[in-house]
């Protein structure tokens, strides 16, 4: 489990970010080429998925490769799940249906609940897991999530106004994850809020790559108005995790959480997070 952040010199960090993008895509291609025939877990298709609420406003906000299941059961099979989520055109706009900014409001569920609200640009919420129970017996579970938001257009003057991102928890008997991100290049990736994982003589591999890259030098920017991020817990009987990130390049990546692991087999988790913003240094 490693994190790569934003503290290097601008030129070096920019090169590292571009290399991270290339490596992320290469790793995804290699995994896809080497996969066996995917066999979904034997409970797939049953109504065992938890509640997922997402609201986003802005450009290049990615919410993908996340899991929230009540039960995931794999017996002597190989299960491969690969998710690639990429936005490279710089023109993807999402509009929240709520006045004043995005709001993800939880309801009532017996299992896991995830509520995610993102406002701004290049906020990534990818490769996170909130499964209630995972049982892997004599099998293999491979999960890989690749998220990349890349902006290379040129902009000289732009006023930005970002609404308030609010993730409000509801009522759940399982675990609850509330994440709100407001601003630019806030990464919340590769985190685990699983409650119980039982791995008996099997192998579990989870790899997450998140890259936010803005190579657009802006010489002048208009006034920036940003609403605050709010992650508010609801009523939860299980594990609760609430994260609010404001501003630029806040990273919460690779957190294992407080779940219980019974590691009678091999479990590997690897998370890389990279954020680089050339536009900030050009102001």
Q: What are phi and psi of 242, to 5 degrees?
A: -125, 125
DSSP code of residue 119: E
Torsion 241-172-196-270 (CA) sign: negative
Can you give the pLDDT at residue 136?
95
User: How far apart, in whole angstroms, are the C-alpha atoms of residue 146 and residue 66?
Assistant: 11
Q: Provide block-wise average pLDDT over 10 residues at a time, the chain (283 residues).
A: 36 57 52 35 57 92 93 93 87 68 92 94 96 95 96 62 88 94 96 95 96 79 74 91 95 92 90 89 49
H or E stretch covering 279: helix 278-281
Can you give the pLDDT at residue 135?
95
Can you give the pLDDT at residue 198?
95
| Chain centroid, CA 167 distance in Å | 15
Q: Where are the beta strands (DSSP E) in 152-195?
A: 160-162, 166-168, 171-172, 176-184, 187-189
Torsion 149-184-101-55 (CA) sign: positive
In the numeric block, the tokens 């609430």 are attached to 242
User: How far apart, in whole angstroms, are the C-alpha atoms of residue 17 and residue 187?
Assistant: 14
Can you give the pLDDT at residue 138?
95
């Amino acid at each position: 489990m490693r994190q790569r952040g934003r503290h290097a010199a601008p030129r070096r960090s920019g090169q590292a970010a571009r290399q991270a993008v290339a490596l992320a895509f290469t790793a995804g291609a290699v995994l896809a080429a080497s996969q066996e025939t995917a066999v979904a877990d034997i409970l797939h298709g049953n109504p065992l998925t938890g509640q997922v609420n997402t609201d986003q406003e802005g450009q290049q906000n990615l919410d993908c490769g996340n899991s929230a299941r009540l039960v995931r059961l794999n017996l002597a099979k190989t299960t491969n799940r690969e998710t690639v989520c990429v936005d490279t055109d710089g023109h993807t706009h999402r509009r929240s249906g709520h006045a004043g900014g995005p709001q993800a409001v939880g309801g009532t569920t017996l299992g896991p609940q995830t509520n995610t609200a993102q406002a701004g640009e290049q906020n990534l919420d990818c490769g996170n897991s909130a499964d209630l129970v995972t049982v892997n017996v004599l099998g293999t579970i491979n999960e890989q999530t690749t998220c990349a938001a890349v902006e290379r257009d040129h902009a000289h003057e732009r006023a930005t106004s970002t609404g308030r991102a609010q993730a409000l928890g509801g009522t759940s008997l399982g675990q609850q994850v509330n994440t709100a991100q407001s601003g630019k290049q806030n990464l919340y990736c590769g985190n685990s809020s699983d409650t119980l994982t039982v791995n008996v003589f099997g192998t579990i591999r989870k790899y997450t790559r998140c890259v936010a890259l803005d190579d657009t030098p802006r010489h002048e920017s208009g006034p920036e108005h940003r609403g605050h991020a709010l992650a508010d817990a609801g009523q939860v009987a299980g594990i609760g995790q609430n994260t609010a990130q404001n501003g630029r390049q806040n990273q919460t990546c690779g957190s294992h959480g407080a779940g219980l692991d019974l590691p009678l087999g091999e479990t590997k988790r690897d998370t890389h997070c990279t954020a680089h913003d050339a536009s900030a240094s050009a102001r």
